Chains A and B, each alone.
Chain A
Amino acid sequence: MSQPPVFMGAPSSTGRFGDFGGRFVPEALMPACLELEAAFIDAWSDPVFIDEYHSVLHEFAGRSTPVTYLGRFSKLFGVEVYAKREDLAHTGSHKINNVVGQTLLTRRMGKTRVIAETGAGQHGVATATAAARLGLACTVYMGELDTHRQELNVFRMELLGSTVVPVTSGSKTLKDAVNEAMREWVSCVEDTHYCLGSVMGPHPFPWMVREFQSIIGREAEEQLTARGVGVPDVVVACVGGGSNAAGIFAGFANSSARLVGVEAAGGAAVSNGSPGVLHGMKSMLIQSEHGQIEEAHSISAGLDYPGIGPEHAFLAASGRAEYVGIGDEDVLVALQTLSQLEGIIPALESAHAVAWIMQEAGKAIPRGSTVLLNLSGRGDKDVAQVLDILRGRE
């Protein structure tokens, strides 16, 4: 008889993963969180809902995404690297998996509108896309700084019929966009679903988003098995809130694979943070000695977040997964290296995971190891920013 899964099963009835998670929201939002939890549990055990979710991901979003063997990169670094190509999914990243699930759920709950936060703009674009497909109204909150860094994504969302609201409070980045989306949700919760973009926030979001993203890990596990690779030695993914990492880890949580999450060095909540409560969850946070949340700093807007999803905090505390930080400079080198060796321009976020492999191949990753890299998004959105940085140095 097989053992029940030890890691990445359902959280406790109060939404806890070990000591992390839970639900820390204004009372005004509690009924919506409870309604969402019930609706998700009901939908996720309904074959009709699950079929529709898979069929939309297939017909609309282009799943399944392939696993690509990175031949020249592998040869150069002496490790066998397979990339799960979430960059090839519709809208250019894994974010589509989650929003397809959440927008179908929105319709099932009888709500007619979604709001979302976005950092780099990937989740905002994905939400705008899925909302357009179902005819749901959509408003996206985006830090003012990020609207400048990712101007094209702002226009994409508008093309898709969404409204983008620049957030001017606090650090004007992702964490403030989450604050503003939560504030707005209070005043429109009756007809509006908050389509949260990562494995964070109050229960059931961290669990629900991980479940909607777990298709990444399940597909990759089947694909590696089918090509005779089997369970990889290492599974690596970048982590901001941690949804792409949670998705790919879910396929290997109870295998022998080593799980590695790569945070931006300037936003490394596990390495440099401490337990705290923010955005509806208890997790690891970067905060001052007085408990004020500090601003994260990263070249990639998508990893500019001072916290991490609560399940990651638990996986770190339990030792099942490890979390490391990578600096901006190494990320730029990794982006160029992967582009030139493999013909794949990764998103700056995903390039963090590439950079970790380059740094640790032959060290923390023994020569000849097999590595599954989650290539969570494509770099199109970042090329203008990278051009500016590299040109500025000439």
Chain B
Amino acid sequence: MAAGNRDSRSRYLLSFGLLLALFVLLFLWNLNSGTVQLTPGEIAKILFTEGGDRTARPIVWEIRLPRILAAAILGGALAVSGFLLQTFFANPIASPFVLGISSGAKLTVALAMIVLLERGLTISSAGMVLAAFAGSMISMGFVLLISGRVRQMSMLVVCGVMIGYICSAITDFLVTFAEDSDIVSLHNWSLGSFSGTSWEQVKLSAAIVFACLVLTLFMAKPMGAYRLGEVYAQNMGVNLHRFRAALILVSSVLSACVTAFAGPVSFVGIAVPHLAKRLFGTSSPLVLIPGCFLGGSVFCLFCDRIARTAFSPAELSISSVTAVFGAPVVILIMAGRRKQAA
């Protein structure tokens, strides 16, 4: 269902070109920012040769590069997860954060961390992802239960936000009673941040996210049909049960992966798909899935750079920055819909 005419195709190419250029630019900008100033030449030397400054080399390879990749991969994952949920609920402000799915994942990860830390064990990356997945599926279950009863999209969002608050409250409760030493890492993580990402985590998240992305691309066709509503989609040959289950599963895995590694990150899931639709001028999933992914990467790279450097040396949580840039977009969406309805 990728649209046909030449105008739209060149617009897609241009938009992808723009996003790629921004991606490269932000990638380099992020690589080059921090307390240790490096020239582009030095960075190139560190990246492509064995040489380079002795102290700068580990900073680039062990701190900056994994963090940048994490921001890019997980940002993309969030945007795609949001796009899937918006398709599922036919609701433009559905996203893992708004529907309380991120908070559910946060709760179970916190629980797993505390339980394991008390026994003197550390939690592995895969364990984090599993815990997060369990949490996001539980939240998702509640959201689905509610969505079966309420037809109004605003009510669904309100319920999602409430689920989010409940999960956050329980998480806070757990954190309060946890051992002091645990709290530091838990607290940082629960605010959301890409800092301290290891290569192992990058590899695992890349594997999960790219697998999901491929699956999502295979769902592009039914997603395209689903834009006309479930009655028409079913008539055109979409197996609704299978399609819905796949959509929920993939979006939960994606948001679980993000929450496990970066904590809850707000607004990316809503803002990016919306901006991507505007940029590409289409809602065709085959275009928007890669578009959202790339857009999410760009958005998170940008926000992470701000989070690191705006009040350096103090670091902001990633969610505060994404909220500053993402929330206005949500307001615009709501305002735009009002206008359309009137």
Binding between chains A and B: no
Task: Give chain B's interface residues, CB within 8 Å of chain A.
Answer: none
Task: Give chain A's interface residues, CB within 8 Å of chain B.
Answer: none
